[in-house]
Amino acid sequence: MNIHQRQEKQLFDLIRTATNTKFGQEHEFKKIQRYPDFREEVPISFYKDISNQIEQLKNGSADLFWPGQINHFAVSAGTSGKGKHLPLSNQRLQSDRRFMRMIALQYLKQNPNIFDIIGTHISLPGVLEQKNNFQIGEISAFTALKAPWWLSPLQLFDSNELTNLSFDKKIDRVLEEGINHDVRVITAAPNWVLTIFQELLKKTGKKHIKEIWPNLTLLICGGVKLANYRPHLEKLIGNKEVHFIETYGASEGYIGFSSHVDRDDLKLVTDNGIFFEFIPNPLPDPDSMSIQETVPLWEVEPDTPYALLVTTNAGLWRYALNDIIEFTQLDPPRIKVMGRVSEMLDDYGEALYAYEAEEALQQTADSMGLTVGKFTVGAQMGSEQDIPRHFWFIQTDESLHSDTLDKLAKRLDDTICQMNRHYTIRRENNTLGQPQIYTISQQQVNNWLQQKGKEKAQGKLPAILRKDRDINYFKGFQ
């Protein structure tokens, strides 16, 4: 089966399953015969469009978007008391479990010596809460509970126990107990792996992680972009080769993974309960996105930014994710996640996308022989006598002198001017000042996440800071 056939089959399997649901009847699923019919009949949806029905599902309503009742909900943003709560059907949970099997089988196909990973495994899933008639929590917690049975004896901690612990307690357990085990595999968001490594080295006085866990073989990371952390993790590990697998998953479903340990793009999984559509060159405004042209997977082109829509076996129909991806290969499809649709810094007309900012920072740092990791940037105007400027906060392994940071800022400014016309106009008209760059530590980021109530498995530093108090928080360490 080619990509077209596989994805069309996926779509019509979903449509047939949901034909008699309330949504299927409202949108006349019985009459849909071709993909263009589906695109015409079913509108693009955002969370605000389905939030009322989500509350009905949590109150026990059945057969709204998907057959039967929904008893599990994944937190997509915010804490479990706020944010987006997306449905997880039994079929979706089975698909997520199948996705994890794909990762294991693909890794063992490339690295058949299974004894390299027979030892202690550490996983850091999110937290689950039991409500009156449903469970709610991060997708990583549900995935941990659905892990293959044969992994359980290898796990340092029981998954049921970990999903009931706050994140700081999870880290404490790893630091207290993991130090005396032969750890071979770690599964966690890369920002938390970095924290564990830093704290372990501080606790033991060792220089490298290989001195503590000499047989560490594999890191499976998701939730936060691995490329921003990998150079730092490799330096902390030492000169021992460790394999990295990156997963691209969301509360809506698991979408892709690094199927080859020597490549940094991701295999898009096309036969696991998700039908994909794409909006080329998306605008950040949801109202504009909802009327933009969409294309199916078999019509995409390489090196074009796309917003992603998913139709899933949890009852999400043409649901818009907030991610921008690009295709590096079409058959089989492989992607890179470029950033977030809504992550645009446009406080002063500069219209700078987060993925443009990331690309410019990486290019500039490479040209200076510097290694940078995660970053965040915000715009601020100090006073009415000042002009606005961008304030960048970057993580780096090196202690950078103020002269180096000034030079980096000037080169970064030049690089962005070459990439972004709106930014260039503001700089040329002197309505936007030269950026300033500061360094920040992972501990400062962790403290900020804790203050925000985002210290969880997939808690992350946003690429763009929107509020003055957050910009001032990181400025306060300088």
**pLDDT tens digits for 359-371?**
999 999 999 999 8
Domain count, the chain: 2
At residue 80, the pLDDT reads 39
Residues 209 and 171 in one domain: yes
At residue 404, the pLDDT reads 93
Residues 363 and 260 in one domain: no
At residue 26, the pLDDT reads 97
Burial annotation 309-322 (CB, 10 A radius, 16+ → b, else e): bbbbbbbbbbbbbb
Q: Which two tokens stand for residue 137?
A: 């929590």
Q: From 272, 307, 342, give the residue that closes a domain.
A: 342
Give the Cα separation of 56 and 64 in Å (integer).
Answer: 9
Exposed/middle/buried for residue 110 (C-beta within 10 Å: 0-12, 13-18, 19+): exposed
Residues 380 and 234 in one domain: no
Residue 66 has pLDDT above 50, yes or no: yes
The candidate with the shortest Cα–Cα distance to 450, out of 166, 130, 181, 38, is 166
Give the Cα separation of 68 and 89 in Å (integer).
Answer: 9
Lowest mean pLDDT: which of 33-37, 131-135, 396-400, 451-455? 451-455
At residue 456, the pLDDT reads 64
Is-cis flag, bond preceding 296, omega within 30? no
Residues 277 and 144 in one domain: yes
Mean pLDDT of 26-48: 95
Task: Write out pLDDT tens, residues 164-205.
Answer: 887 778 888 999 999 999 999 999 988 788 889 988 999 999
Residue 82 has pLDDT above 60, yes or no: no
> pLDDT band at residue 457, thresholds of 50, 70 and 90?
low
Give the Cα separation of 25 and 153 in Å (integer).
Answer: 47
Give the Cα separation of 89 and 63 in Å (integer).
Answer: 11
Range among 117-121, 156-160, 420-424 with highest mean pLDDT value: 117-121
- pTM for this structure? 0.79
Residues 242 and 139 in one domain: yes
- Find out whether 434 and 409 touch, Cβ atoms under 8 Å: yes
At 94, which amino acid appears? Q
Range among 53-62, 75-84, 217-226 with highest mean pLDDT value: 53-62
At residue 395, the pLDDT reads 92
| CA dihedral angle for residue 14, residue 15, residue 19, residue 24, rounded to 10 degrees | 110
> What's the chain's average pLDDT?
90
Residues 387 and 421 in one domain: yes
Q: Which two tokens stand for residue 189?
A: 């968001």
Exposed/middle/buried for residue 189 (C-beta within 10 Å: 0-12, 13-18, 19+): buried
Q: From 342, 365, 399, give the residue that closes a domain.
A: 342
- Find out whether 95 and 253 touch, Cβ atoms under 8 Å: yes
Residues 322 and 365 in one domain: no
At residue 452, the pLDDT reads 80
Q: From 325, 342, 359, give the residue that closes a domain.
A: 342
- Looking at per-residue pLDDT, the higher value among 328 and 148 belongs to 328
Question: Which string of DSSP letters, residue by residue, matches 286-343?
Answer: HHHHTTS--EEGGG--TT--EEEEEEETTS--SEEEEEEEEEEEETTEEEEEEEETT-
Q: Which two tokens stand for residue 73?
A: 């909900």
Residues 194 and 277 in one domain: yes
Which residues constitute the domain of residue 43? 1-342
Residue 431 has pLDDT above 90, yes or no: no
∠152-153-156 over CA atoms, to 5°? 85
Residues 98 and 193 in one domain: yes
Residue 109 has pLDDT above 60, yes or no: yes
At residue 79, the pLDDT reads 39
Residue 78 has pLDDT above 60, yes or no: no
Residues 393 and 336 in one domain: no
Residues 237 and 89 in one domain: yes
Residues 181 and 324 in one domain: yes
> pLDDT band at residue 353, thresholds of 50, 70 and 90?
confident
Residue 466 has pLDDT above 90, yes or no: no
Q: Which two tokens stand for residue 195?
A: 């924290």
At residue 149, the pLDDT reads 75
At residue 95, the pLDDT reads 96
At residue 34, the pLDDT reads 95
Task: Write out pLDDT tens, residues 412-430.
Answer: 999 999 988 789 888 987 8
Q: Which two tokens stand for residue 103?
A: 């990762």
Any idea what the CATH number is for the domain that residue 427 is in?
Answer: 3.30.300
